[in-house]
Chains A and B, each alone.
Chain A
Amino acid sequence: GDSVTQMEGPVTLSEEAFLTINCTYTATGYPSLFWYVQYPGEGLQLLLKATKADDKGSNKGFEATYRKETTSFHLEKGSVQVSDSAVYFCALRNSGNTPLVFGKGTRLSVIA
């Protein structure tokens, strides 16, 4: 079945450091790919998405490019802030009638 694998956390970075969170997927067909963010005490929020190969999703300084050849969707940000501390989930959806398939999440802590 479909699956998503994320790098294990926690990831701890200093403010203004470069962030990469790796995500790879296994799926039949041509899924859409998503990154969600969960701040402490809150629900998951959509951060960005990409719906076809070579698409780049971006939001709030975060970016991820849909790489079909490597089945990857790595999340990047050039300069992280303390306020980016959260748990990040990579996910895919293969059909409009089925749920998203989530990775296990990666906890990011940014220290000043």
Chain B
Amino acid sequence: DAGVIQSPRHEVTEMGQEVTLRCKPISGHNSLFWYRQTMMRGLELLIYFNNNVPIDDSGMPEDRFSAKMPNASFSTLKIQPSEPRDSAVYFCASSTTGGESQPQHFGDGTRLSIL
């Protein structure tokens, strides 16, 4: 079975450019989560969706960050304009809402470097 698929795996871009990260959740999963991981701050939850609806975006650091989920099989996280402090590994995860025993399944992440 295909797991959570993220693209690109690596992204290097210059400060001020727009960055778009993509995620395809596991088929049948109806919750999707975006995380950011850095050495300094560890793993941070940015936003999550249930049934394509954003539920909690309180972890989004600034208005430069936005996330969408236009359908059950696709989500994007966009940074515009990007800054060097946005450099991190961004993970997408998905799960079912079948109760608290359901784990989250993570993608392999996008390693983002802003120069």
Contacts and interface: CB of A to CB of B under 8 A. Distances in A.
Interface of A: 30-32, 34, 36, 42-46, 49, 51, 89, 93-97, 99-100, 102, 104-105
Nearest to B111: A41
Interface stretch (B68-76, B77-85, B96-104): B96-104
Contact of A51 (B97, B101, B105, B109): B101
Residues of B in contact with A, size category = 20 to 34
A99 B43 contact: no
A46 B100 contact: no
Nearest to B104: A100
A97 B42 CA distance: 23
Nearest to A51: B101
A31 B107 contact: no
A96 B91 contact: no
